[in-house]
Homo-oligomer: A and B are copies of this chain.
Amino acid sequence: MSASKKRLYIQEVATRDGFQNEAQFVDTDQKIALVDQLSLCGYAKIEVTSFTSPKAIPALRDAEAVMHQIRRQPGVEYTVLVPNVRGAERALSCGVDEVNLVMSVSESHNLTNLRMSRDQSFAQLRDVVSVVQKTDVAINVSLSTAMGCPMEGDVPVEEVIRWMHCFAELGVRGITLCDTTGMAFPSQVRTLCRKARATFPELELTLHFHNTRGMALANTLAALDVGIDRFDASLGGLGGCPYAPGATGNACTEELVHMLELDRYDTGVNLAGILDASARLPGLIGHDVPSQLLKAGRRLDLHAMPSIGEDGRPEQRAVCH
């Protein structure tokens, strides 16, 4: 173990990526209170909401109210998802720190997710970039299905790099490689991240994993192996993608931070603080969350010895190994 810990950057997406899929509307006041609580927990960035059509994503129809009323903390960047120029104008009027643009690397997922071809998406996002570049607001692009498409299957690394080039040439600050439906696996992550870092050393590179097939933390380790230092995650493991039925949520922030801090990385995140926030989620959305850490507690949250039976010894209930 080295004395100085490596700094990592954790970006929370639950209030956007998580809440958009929830059947139960989370009240605006509750959204604001949650973001305010998370703002005090040491995140590098919080994806607060999206400026999408209220008809398409009614769960986030209160984007302006939320962005205007949260209490921003210095050192935390507040980003929002923006699909088009109209959304960008709404976001800019709220004084966001960053806009996050989305398109898929695979044609089928882009058609499904954004209802247009990738070329149409790129043309639309190029217009957004032009508008935002007139301001000092940063621009990030989240490339969905970068590690596999639930309709097409494998997505070639070259195709990911090609779309990264398109946006790098426009001068965006960062790109997020998204494993939208949890198809990534460790050796693939290493290969893709190595190539992406070598080709675009100037870009702020983020990895966005889902835990659909249980590999979110394993893929995080693989990304760390090749120098990635910035990760999206979702409180409670909220999220998922409705175009891949059965898919569970995003990488769970508290599980990610718990592992990384044990491995002596400096995430900047207050684990007790986010566990406290995560414990409030079931009350907001009306159901349990995928987080296992929330159920089991932290590694060193210890348990008492069980009760003693009639023979003066603990009652045996199993033989565990």
Query: Does A241 lie within 8 Å of B318, measured CB to CB?
Result: yes
In the assembled complex, how far is the CB of residue A242 from the closest CB belonging to chain B, in whole angstroms?
A: 5
- Interface residues in A159-214 by Cβ distance below 8 A to B read 176, 178, 180-183, 185-188, 208, 211-214
Query: Does B262 lie within 8 Å of A320, measured CB to CB?
Result: no
Among the listed B57, B181, B299, B306, which residue makes an inter-chain contact with A185, where contact means beta carbons less than 8 Å apart? B299
Query: Does B319 lie within 8 Å of A243, measured CB to CB?
Result: no
Report the bound CA distance from A303 to B248 in whole Å: 15
In the assembled complex, how far is the CB of residue A301 from the closest CB belonging to chain B, in whole angstroms?
A: 9
Query: Does A214 lie within 8 Å of B318, measured CB to CB?
Result: no
In the assembled complex, how far is the CB of residue A293 from the closest CB belonging to chain B, in whole angstroms?
A: 5
Known: A292-B211, A296-B182. A319 touches B246 (CB 8 A): no
Query: Does B1 lie within 8 Å of A243, measured CB to CB?
Result: no
- Residues of chain B within 8 A (CB-CB) of A241 are 318, 320
The A interface, classified by DSSP as helix, strand, loop or mixed, is loop
Among the listed B57, B215, B220, B258, which residue makes an inter-chain contact with A213, where contact means beta carbons less than 8 Å apart? B258
- Residues of chain B within 8 A (CB-CB) of A215 are 217, 255, 259
- Residues of chain B within 8 A (CB-CB) of A300 are 148, 153-154, 183
Q: Does A244 contact B (CB under 8 A)?
A: yes
- Residues of chain B within 8 A (CB-CB) of A56 are 316, 319
- Interface residues in A3-31 by Cβ distance below 8 A to B read 17, 20-21
- Residues of chain B within 8 A (CB-CB) of A321 are 17, 81, 100, 102, 142-144, 176, 178, 180, 208
Query: Does A102 lie within 8 Å of B319, measured CB to CB?
Result: yes
- Residues of chain B within 8 A (CB-CB) of A314 are 111-112, 115
> 5 closest Cβ contacts across the A-B interface?
A142-B321, A185-B262, A217-B218, A214-B255, A241-B320
Count class of interface residues, chain A = 35 or more
- Interface residues in A24-56 by Cβ distance below 8 A to B read 50, 52, 56
Q: Does A247 contact B (CB under 8 A)?
A: yes
23 A-B pairs within 8 Å (CB atoms) are namely A17-B320, A57-B319, A83-B319, A102-B321, A112-B314, A114-B319, A143-B321, A151-B305, A152-B302, A180-B321, A182-B296, A186-B221, A211-B214, A211-B292, A212-B292, A213-B259, A214-B216, A214-B259, A215-B217, A218-B220, A218-B221, A218-B259, A246-B296
Query: Does B318 lie within 8 Å of A187, measured CB to CB?
Result: no
Query: Does A297 lie within 8 Å of B259, measured CB to CB?
Result: no
Report the bound CA distance from A62 to B185 in whole Å: 40
Among the listed B153, B259, B317, which residue makes an inter-chain contact with A186, where contact means beta carbons less than 8 Å apart? B259
Q: Does A113 contact B (CB under 8 A)?
A: yes
- Interface residues in A43-84 by Cβ distance below 8 A to B read 50, 52, 56-57, 81, 83
